[in-house]
Structures are given as C-alpha cells and as structure tokens.
Amino acid sequence: MARGFSCLGRWRGFSFRRASRRGSVATEFALLAFPFFVLLVGVSELCLIETAQQLLENAAFNASRLGKTGYVAEGATQAETVEAVLTKELSSYGLLIDTSKLTTTQERYNSFVGASSGGGASGYGSAQEIVIYTVAYPWKVFTPLMCSLMGAACNQDTNTVMLTSTIVVRNEPYG
C-alpha cells in the first residue's frame, strides 16, 4: 500500500494539531483574567458610586422639601430638623456612607435673578425666598486604579471623589 493513501496519515496530522492546542484555554484565560477582573471591579465600583450619588440626591431633595415648608421639629431648630432628615436618609446605605463627613450649605436669595448672580446670605430663608441647598460627601474609592482612571474627578492624594447634590427651591408662603 502506498504511503500517500493511508487513512492513518490523515488522522495522525489531525491528532498532532489537536495535541498542540492542549492548554490553550488555560493560556487564554491567564491572558484575559486580569483585564476581566479589573473591569469587573471597576464596574462594581462605579455602580456603588452611582448608587451613593443617587441616594445623596434623594436625601437632599427630601431635606430641601422639608426645609421649604418651614417645618421645625419640637425642641429643635430648622437646621437640626433638616440635618436629621439627611442623616436618616443617608444612613440607609449602611457603613458605606459616614454621615459625619457630610457637608451641607444653604444660601438664601430674594429672587431667582439674585440666585443666578451669586452672593446670597447663609441660612434657610423665610417665606417666598429662594434657597439653594448643597450637600457634599467625599466618597472613598476602594481601588486606586479606578481613582487614576477617573482623572481629575478623583483626588489622587486621598482617593476620594466628591459627590455633590444641589437643589434650588422657593420657600412656601408660610407665616
């Protein structure tokens, strides 16, 4: 029988190619595992940051809503009442948000034109005044690599991103 017509010759070449591919899945996984896990951690971190930002927005909205009515809890000032609402709302995120690091500012203006030009007085304002509530929180980024990828948005020295929510309201005509 001639060499060129043997069935074994064809299979022998096929099995040789198949044997040389052994371990290729492990090699491909080794090459792709690190970028995959970096991407997975990065997406998880960005989801946590976005969730915290949304919670901050919601807490600022609810606090400003309470503040614009002029409501003051019994035995407390308006500032203490608004701060209590913020603390209650943000403590729902558990240990990820430390409410002692929260920064709040309130600026009051007589009109929206005055608010757009700046220079308002500090405080919750009186009836019919415009109040700008600003709530800020320094979010600690868990992975330094994500902080470096965020660029200017992240403070490289402290690995923090400043999450900020600003709400503009007109106080109700309470009296």
* pLDDT tier for residue 118 given thresholds of 50, 70 and 90: confident
The confidence score (pLDDT) of residue 25 equals: 86
Task: Please report, for the chain, the start and end positions of each structural domain, with discontinuous segments joined by +.
Answer: 11-170
- pTM value is 0.78
Q: If we measure between CA atoms, which residue out of 87, 88, 86, 52 comes closest to residue 67?
A: 86
Q: How far apart are CA 165 and CA 109, in angstroms?
A: 19
Q: How far apart are CA 109 and CA 119, in angstroms?
A: 8
Closest CA to 90 of 103, 99, 81, 100: 99
pLDDT tens column, 51-105: 999 999 999 999 999 999 989 999 999 999 999 999 999 988 888 899 999 999 9
Q: Summarize pLDDT for 15-50 with one digit per residue, the tens.
A: 555 556 677 888 888 899 999 998 899 899 999 999
Rg value, the chain, Cα: 30
Higher per-residue pLDDT: 77 or 4: 77
Residue 89, C-beta contacts closer than 8 angstroms, at least 6 positions apart: 55, 58, 59, 62, 63
Decide if pLDDT at 7 tops 70: no
